[in-house]
A = this chain, B = another copy of it.
Amino acid sequence: MPQDRAALVPVLHNVATQLRIDSIRSTTAAESGHPTTCASAADLIAALFFAEMRFDPKHPLHPLNDRFVLSKGHAAPILYAAWAAVGYIKRDDLLNLRKIDSDLEGHPTPRLPFVDVATGSLGQGLAAGLGAALNAQRIGSDYRTYALLGDGETAEGSVWEAAELAAFKKVDNLVGITDVNRLGQSRPTMWQHDLDGLARRWSAFGWNAIVINGHDLNAILDAFAAARETKGRPTMILAKTFKGYGVSFLQDKEGWHGKALKAGDEEHRAIAELEKTLNGVPADAIDKLRDAIPKPPAAPAATKRSPLAPPAYKPGDVVASREAYGTALARLGKADSRIVALDADVGNSTFSERFEKAAPERFYESYIAEQVMVGAAMGLAARGAIPYPSTFACFLTRAYDFLRMAAISNLNVKLAGSHAGVSIGEDGPSQMALEDLAMTRAEPNFTVLYPSDAVCAERCVELAADQPGPVYIRTSRPKTPILYDANETFTVGGSKVLRQSARDAVTVIGAGVTLFEALKAFDLLAKDGIAIRVIDLYSVQPVDADTLLAAAHATDGRVVTVEDHYAAGGIGDAVATALAPAGFAVHRLAVREIPRSGKPEELLDRFGISAGSIVNAVKAVTSDRTVAKV
């Protein structure tokens, strides 16, 4: 920073004090919120925004701005106060905190352009920050990323996943700051003010750990300078602070977590104590400091991509959809520098290894750490990349809270889960994804794709890149035949009717391995003179309600779904929801108990989702008067 340090510090003190006052005012107006956790962080944030970061306060979305991730999202009021201090938000607006018609929510969300990822679920910000830091490498920018953590949240394992990976990746453009204010929600934190103990942990994990007094602005500025000088590893600044700092009846006191001050005397006394500490620097000193915030260089031009050529399969090929996923991702990666891939040490199973080979500089091995894989993808997505994190679908459950926050953030994260369902066979239930559709469909803005053959799988990878927001692609382990011509087109919200006739008795809907079972059942039933309509539901969310309704009408309301997934939350529910407005109900074949090891075909049969199971179900519903009358 160019400023004279002796002149700078008193101004920053006044900025910090104003941030504390604004945090108290806004939370008191809202009658809820976290003023005391704002107060502990105020000096750190004042220094960051007014004397460290490079950014354009008028253009928070500028792609080359330095990034600030408020991992301790409950300190949202001070984030809003900081953006008011730099002039982006009107100070009066802060009093609309937490109101339904304001974007100044209780915890930050990307409804606000200066928020990259929603926070408020603790322990996610450092992973997102790592993603932002990796993105700077991707685009060749020197922007830096700062993540502010609470000390309590460093109990979350996800923080240590990010710590390991950031050190391994040697990202020296990432700075973590832990606001060690000693107090959690219900009691003191585990290690309270043992700053040296915390520093030992970060040092052992390969970080440059710096312990400071977090209310000493000189020490804060020195730490930021030291972080800039540090090469080859990230820096964690461990700042000893006090919750409620600057207000005698709040400072370092238990029982004040998440409590707004009462309007009137309580609020006024607190603000009066803070105002008393304001020093006599000239009134325009803050304005001058604000105007001196360094601006980023001009933004680079937006990236575009042409549609991919058709997949290169021919009739008779037998290819696993997971393998087609890898092939398509590699092709996509060559065509578009925004595409990046991440994997959790199973790239030779998910086939993301093909992308790694095609674009190694944009492949981020996350090792066996699914939370940082998804968290880093969120940070990458927030900065303009289109990340595809992949692992066994069952292990995405490890990162469900990150998926949830990616949904709240509406980020362009394109998740891929391989090894769906019991059809993986001998490895057993711990490796079988049987709740992944439930998990992803629950999020209302998730697109969920479930290709059955390699042609569709390749197109789903491409569709995902162009579909705004989070997408989940489910792939399967077994090799399956090619169903579609290379020029077949697929759309989000589409489906394919693979078998139909004027005399179809039942509609059977599947995807993945069960679609092939349905096709086998078609042949078996044909021998008995029973015709069925078979639909490939490759888009599970949104679902192709028109086609489903037409089929249900054509088969007098007799509809059977079959899925390699537990009974709740998957294809059966998706179809039932689509058909409900017309009054149609669905007969569901799904896995209804905890499965076990065995051969894939044995398991499909044992758990009631094989061709034989479909034949039985079709015969049952055609003879069932209850269903037939619908």
Contacts and interface: CB of A to CB of B under 8 A. Distances in A.
B598 A187 contact: no
A107 B430 contact: yes
Contacts of A444: 566-568, 591-594
A13 B329 CA distance: 48
Given A111-B596, A190-B367, A581-B626, A428 B106 contact: yes
Contacts of A569: 438, 441-442, 568-569, 573
Contact of A346 (B106, B185, B580): B185
Contacts of A587: 580-581
A442 B435 CA distance: 6
Contact of A187 (B345, B442, B585, B597): B345
A476 interface: no
A288 interface: no
Interface residues of A, number: 121
A603 B100 contact: yes
Contact of A568 (B434, B442, B599): B442
A484 B129 CA distance: 50
A90 interface: no
Contacts of A379: none
B184 A626 contact: no
Given A430-B405, A596-B111, A582 B626 contact: yes
A98 B597 CA distance: 5
B567 A577 contact: yes
B627 A583 contact: yes
Interface in A413-455: 426-431, 434-435, 438-439, 441-445
A157 interface: yes
A597 B348 contact: no
Interface stretch (A116-124, A528-536, A611-619): A116-124
Interface in A122-137: 122-123
Given A121-B395, A576-B580, A598-B99, A428 B107 contact: yes
Interface of A: 30, 32-33, 73, 98-100, 102, 105-107, 109, 111, 118-123, 152-153, 155-161, 164-165, 168, 184-187, 189-190, 197, 200-201, 203-206, 343, 345-349, 353, 365, 367-372, 394-395, 397-398, 400-401, 403-405, 407-408, 410, 426-431, 434-435, 438-439, 441-445, 541, 557, 566-569, 572-574, 576-577, 579-588, 591-594, 596-599, 602-603, 606, 626-627, 629-630
> Nearest 7 CB-CB pairs, A to B?
A157-B157, A120-B430, A100-B598, A435-B442, A204-B204, A438-B442, A105-B597
